[in-house]
Structure 1
Amino acid sequence: MILVTGSAGQIGTELVTELRNRHGSENVLAGRHKTPLPEEIASSGPSEIVNVTEPEQLKSTLLTHGVTQIFHLSSILSVLAESDIQTAHQVNINGVFSILNTAFETNVEQVIIPSSIAAFGVDTPRTLTPNDTIQRPSTVYGISKVFTELIGNYFYSRFGLDVRGLRLPGVISWKTEPTAGTTDYAVAMFYGAIRDNKYECYLRPDTLLPMMYMPDAIKSLLDLSDANITDLAHHSDFNVNAMSFTPSELAEAIKKINPKFQITYNIDPLRQSIADSWPSSLDDSAAREEWKWKPDF
C-alpha cells in the first residue's frame, strides 16, 4: 500500500490520481486531516485520517494498511507558517521526524518527502543555484525544509531507510487552488483572468522565480521514486528546474489569450521579502546525471 499524506492539497490531489492510475485505486491510501478530500479522490479509493503529529495514530495506520511506501506532502506553507510558527514547527519539523521514525519502525521501504526552493536564503547564489551550496533560509518554512533534507539524509545513512526528496519550485496547476504560498500568484492570475479579467498581484512585476507545470512536478516525484538507489549520490536534496518567469511576463502571456485581462500590483512586504530570498533559477545537473531528470514542459 502507498500512503500519500496531504492528499487534499495542490500536489497531493494530482499525485494520488496518477498513483492510482499506475498501481490500482485500492493500493493508494489518501491521507487526509482537516481539509476534506476532493470528491474524485474520496470516491475512487481508500482514505484515512492521518495526523503526522501523533506518532501512535500514524503507526497504527501504517500497520493496519500494510503501508510500504510514503509520499509525505503534508506541510504548512510559507506565508501561513510565518503567521503560526508553532503549528508550522509541529507539522513541518515534528511531523517529518514522526513520519521517518514511524516508517523505520514499521519497515516501510521508501519515503519521498519534497523539499522546496524555500530551503535557500539571501546568501545563496540566486542564478543557477548549485545543488550543494550555502542555504541559510530566513523563514520558518525554509528552515523546516533544510531540516527535512538533513534528517532524511540522516535516516538513510544511519538506518538505511530509503528517503528521497527534491526541491520543488512554484507549481502551476488548475485542479486545486493553492493557498498560503509565495508563488501561488502564478495560479491565481489564471483564475483572475477567467473569472474577472483582472488580477492584483502581491509581488513586484520583475520578481523572477523558478516555476514548474504540475505534470512535471508529479513526474519528478515519480521518476525519483523509481530511480535505482545505487545511482544516487544525493538522496533528500535534489534541485529540479523547468522554467523561470516574472509576474509581468506571465501577465503578457495571458493577455495574448485574453486581451481584456488587466494586472495591477499591491506589494505584500512579507511575500516579497520571502520571494527575494529565493533563487531565480536552479542548477539541476545532479538530478539529470543521477536519475535522468528532464522536464517535459
Structure 2
Amino acid sequence: MQLGVRVCVAILGLFRQGCLSRARILPHCSFSSLPRQMSKWDSHETCSLPSPQDKPRVLITGGLGQLGVGLAQILRKQYGTENVILTDIKKPAPHVFSNGPFVYADVLDYKHLRELIVTNGITWLVHYSALLSAVGEANMALARKINITGLHNVLDLALEHCLRFFVPSTIGAFGPSSPRDPAPDLCVQRPRTIYGVSKVHGELMGEYLHHKYGLDFRCLRYPGVISVNTPPGGGTTDYAVQIFHDALSTGHHECYLRPDTRLPMMHISDCHRATVEFMQTPESQLSLRTYNIAAMSFTPDELAQEIQKHLPHLKVTYSLDPVRQTIADSWPMRFDDTNARRDWGWAPAFGLEELVADMLRSIEDMRVSQGLPVN
C-alpha cells in the first residue's frame, strides 16, 4: 500500500513537471479529485467566461429533486428549451421528457459528466444532487459519497471548463454553537449532521477555488423550501409540505417536531427567483460568494393556525422524531439576509399568509385534476 502511494506521488511529480500526459497518469492514481487539474491550475491560470451577451448553456444535476424541474422551466423560458439540460439517475415522468432535454447522469461518474459538458458546450452548472438531512443521517456513507465526492467531481469540471457554478447550501450548514436568531452570513457554523458538514465543505471549497483560481462560484443558503409538485424527500422541514396534503386529504397531520420549533422557510417560487437573479448578477456586484436568503420564519403551531383559517377542521397532533428534532434544534430560527438584499436586490414575494393560500389552492387543484377527494 505504501509503495503504491509512493509510486503515485512520484508519477504525479513527473506529471506536474510536464513529463507525463494527463491521460497516462489519471487511471492509475487514487488521489482526491483536485489533482486532476493540478498541472493546469498550478500555473495560476484564471477562468475567462463567455460574453454576457451569450445565452448560457445550463446543466442541472439532481434535476428530479424538489428544485430542478421548476428551475429548468424558468431558465428555458429565458434562454431557450435546448439550452437547459436536466440530469438525474432516476426515470423522469413523461412530461419531463417532453418539456426539454433530459440525460441520465451520475455525479459520481466524472468521465460521463465531462463528456456532457464538452459535447453540449455547457457554461453554467447548477449542482442540486445531494442526500438531505434526515436521510443522510440514516446512511452517512452514501451521503458522504454523493454530497462530497460528487461535489468534488463537479467542482473539478467547473474549474477545467470555466463554468459559472452554483450549488445550494442550507440552514443545515449551521450548528448548535451558531447564532440562531438571526444567523448572519459569516459566523461560527460547525454543523452536526453529514448533510450540514458537506454543505460547509462545499461553501469553503467553492470560495477557496474562487479566490485562488477565479472560479465563478455562487452559493445560496436556502431556508426550508415549500412546494406542491415534489413530495417530501427526507428533510427536517418536510412537515411544512406534508401538512398541506394531509389537511386536504384526511384533515389530520401528525407532526414530528415540537409545536414551538421555529425555522426559516420559503415558497419555492421565491427560491427559484432568488437563484436565477443571483446567477444573472454581474460578479462586480457580489461582495460574498455564499449568501443567506430569507422570506419568513414560523413554527408548526403557527403554520397550523394559518391553515385552520381556511380549513377549521384540521387537527394537528405531535409525535416527536428525536433525530429530526435534534437537527432542527441546532439550526437557525431566522436568517439575516441583509447582504443579499443590498448586493443584488433580493426581496421575497411570499409571506406566511400568501404561502398558505397558494399551497392550499394549488394542492386542491392538483387533487381535483387527479380525481382525488378533497377534505
TM-score (normalised: structure 2): 0.77
Residues 115-159 of structure 1 deviation map (CA, whole Å, 9 limit, x = unaligned): 001000000111011111000101100000000100110121111
- After TM superposition, give the deviation of residue 26 of structure 1 in Å: 1.1
Q: Could you tell me how far apart the structure 2 residues matched to 1:115 and 1:38 are?
A: 27
Match of 1:243 in 2: 296
1:99 aligns with 2:151: no
Q: Letter of the aligned partner of 1:58 in structure 2?
A: L
Q: Could you tell me how far apart the structure 2 residues matched to 1:84 and 1:44 are?
A: 33
1:73 to 107, 124, 128: 128
Counterpart contact for 1:32–1:49, Cα < 8 Å: yes
Match of 1:169 in 2: 223
Q: Secondary structure at the match of 1:163?
A: strand
2:329 to 276, 286, 292: 276
1:13 aligns with 2:66: no
Write out aligned runs for 1:128-277 (5 A): 128-235=182-289, 237-277=290-330
- After TM superposition, give the deviation of residue 166 of structure 1 in Å: 0.7
Q: Could you tell me how far apart the structure 2 residues matched to 1:176 and 1:54 are?
A: 26
- After TM superposition, give the deviation of residue 283 of structure 1 in Å: 0.7
Q: In terms of mean alpha carbon deviation, does 274-283 or 3-12 score higher?
A: 3-12
Residues 222-251 of structure 1 deviation map (CA, whole Å, 9 limit, x = unaligned): 11101110111211x201111000001111
- After TM superposition, give the deviation of residue 103 of structure 1 in Å: 1.8
Q: Could you tell me how far apart the structure 1 residues matched to 2:321 and 2:222 are?
A: 23
Counterpart contact for 1:16–1:41, Cα < 8 Å: no
Q: Letter of the aligned partner of 1:177 in structure 2?
A: P
Residues 228-286 of structure 1 deviation map (CA, whole Å, 9 limit, x = unaligned): 10111211x20111100000111111111112211111100000000000000011111
- After TM superposition, give the deviation of residue 56 of structure 1 in Å: 1.0
Match of 2:92 in 1: 37
Q: Could you tell me how far apart the structure 2 residues matched to 1:56 and 1:158 are?
A: 25
2:165 to 105, 108, 111: 111
Match of 1:51 in 2: 106
- After TM superposition, give the deviation of residue 27 of structure 1 in Å: 1.0
Q: Could you tell me how far apart the structure 1 residues matched to 2:179 and 2:162 are?
A: 39
Q: Secondary structure at the match of 1:257?
A: coil
Counterpart contact for 1:13–1:176, Cα < 8 Å: no
Q: Letter of the aligned partner of 1:204 in structure 2?
A: R
Q: Letter of the aligned partner of 2:303 in structure 1?
A: L
Q: Could you tell me how far apart the structure 2 residues matched to 1:26 and 1:257 are?
A: 41
1:4 to 60, 66, 80: 60
State percent identity of aligned pairs. 42
Q: Secondary structure at the match of 1:62?
A: helix
Which structure carries more relative contact order (alpha carbon 8 Å, separation 6+)?
Answer: 1
Q: In terms of mean alpha carbon deviation, does 161-170 or 21-30 score higher?
A: 21-30
Match of 2:79 in 1: 23
Q: Could you tell me how far apart the structure 1 residues matched to 2:232 and 2:119 are?
A: 31
Q: Letter of the aligned partner of 2:158 in structure 1?
A: A
- After TM superposition, give the deviation of residue 61 of structure 1 in Å: 1.1
Q: Could you tell me how far apart the structure 2 residues matched to 1:59 and 1:85 are?
A: 27
Q: Secondary structure at the match of 2:148?
A: helix
Q: Could you tell me how far apart the structure 2 residues matched to 1:226 and 1:293 are?
A: 12
